[in-house]
Amino acid sequence: MLEHIAKGFLQMNLENKFEQKTAKLEVEEHKTTLPNDLKYITQIVVEIDNKYYPMRATTNPYHNGVCDLKLLVPCPTCKYEYSISPSGVVTTNMGTGTIVISYLANPVDENGDLLIPDDETLKEALTHYVLYKYWMTKYMMKEEGSESRMQFHLKMWSTLSKKSMNLNLPTIDGLENIKNINNHLVPRSNRYSQLFQTLNNQENVGF
């Protein structure tokens, strides 16, 4: 049952309930591996002498082969770059060092179990998802009357899971940040390199 609850919750992709996390990764021979609980990457920086420099996703088509192409001439004007393979391997244009990744992950407790938000609609939706899975198993075993029960719980899951998406709505503080980010006469085009530190500051429009 717990497995079905976790699967149902993960299907909903409640981005507003993700946990912001950071992880230090050691790069060896240009490679390292992403954290297992990663959902979305916010930003990657390289740590050098206790200072942090943003890394950019590479546009170099030969980047993933940097360890194999020994004769590839390095670009003297290129900054720190990375690419990520579908298997979660990070390739950087520096041989060794430390990178820090900021990312979003599903919240878990000290035992690694998912933390489900305390929302009645969400809990009811997950209940119907578990019952749908249960009756689907019975339906596959040709049990009489199982199809109607399976379809009922599937319909309830579909309806209630959509209502639970209200959990993705931004908070008042989140709306304030959105307002400050968008209400600008002068575009903010360099906040990535500043690690987004002042992205939500109000613009000084006094003349």
Chain segment 120-141, per-residue pLDDT in tens = 999 999 999 999 999 999 999 9
Name which of 2, 87, 99 is nearest 36 in CA terms: 87
Q: What is the pLDDT at residue 100?
A: 95
Among the listed residues 67, 80, 55, the one whose alpha carbon sits nearest the alpha carbon of residue 31: 67
Instruction: Enumerate the β-bridge partners of residue 191.
Output: none
0.85 exceeded by pTM: no
Listed in sequence order, the residues at least 6 apart from 129 whose beta carbon sits closer than 8 Å to its beta carbon are: 4, 5, 7, 8, 153, 157, 161
Q: Where are the domains of the chain?
A: 2-14+108-168, 19-105
Phi and psi, residue 118, nearest 5° = -80, 75
- Per the CB < 8 A criterion, the answer to whether 203 and 186 are in contact is yes
* pLDDT confidence of residue 71: 44
User: What confidence tier does 207 reach under pLDDT thresholds 50, 70, 90?
Assistant: low
Cα separations (Å) of 195 from 64, 98, 106, 178, 192?
25, 17, 23, 17, 5
How confident is the model over 65-81, as a mean pLDDT? 56
Q: What is the pLDDT of residue 194?
A: 66
**How much of the chain exceeds pLDDT 70, in percent?**
83
Least confident of 38-47, 158-167, 198-207: 198-207
CA distance 147 to 98: 55
Which pair of tokens denotes residue 59? 């546009």
Give the pLDDT confidence score for residue 72 in this predicted structure.
Answer: 46
pLDDT band at 200, cuts 50/70/90? Answer: low
